[in-house]
Amino acid sequence: MMRIPSFLTLFLSGFLMLSCRTLITVGAVENVLLEDLSFSAEARTDTGAAYCSLGADRIVVSRSGEKVFFTLNGERYCLPLAETVTVRRSDTDEIRPVVMLSSTVRGVSRRCGWTLSDRSRMKYPALIGRNWLSGTAVVDVSE
C-alpha cells in the first residue's frame, strides 16, 4: 500500500474544501437588505468596484474620526467609522467613509465595508462590490 506524504494530504484536503464551496449566482441588479439599517433597495452589481457603496445624504465624519453621521431615506444614522478609502473616478479622486454593515443578497448574508457617497444621480441607490462578491458569488448579467 502506497503512503501519501502528509503535505500532499493537507494540500488535497484544502483543494477539496475549496472546490466544494458553493457560490451563488447573482445578476446585474439584485435586491439587497442592509440589516443594521433596516433598509432594502435595488443594487447594481459591479465587479470593478472594490467596495460596496450606499447612497446617503449629509455625510459627516466626526472631529475625532471615530463616527460617521449620514441621512438615508430621511432617517439620521450614526455608525462607527471603519476606515476611509480613496475612490478614483475618471474626473477626480474622492475620499469616502466606510462603515461595516451586514447585508443580505439572495438569502446569503455577509458583513463587509460599505462606502457612503452621494448616489442621487445614479439609477440605483446601492452598489454591490467585490468585497461582498468575492468567495460568495459569481455574476451572470443575463439574470
Q: Supply the pLDDT for residue 64.
A: 95
**Do 37 and 77 form a contact (C-beta atoms < 8 A)?**
yes
Tell me the per-residue pLDDT of 17-55, one tens digit each, with 9 for 90 and over: 445 579 999 999 999 999 999 999 999 999 999 999 999
| Topology adopted by domain 24-139 | Cathepsin D, subunit A; domain 1 (2.40.70)
Residue 16 has a pLDDT of 45
Domain boundaries, the chain: 24-139
What CA–CA distance (Å, rounded) separates 121 from 77? 22
* Mean predicted confidence (pLDDT) in 103-122: 96
pTM over 0.85: no
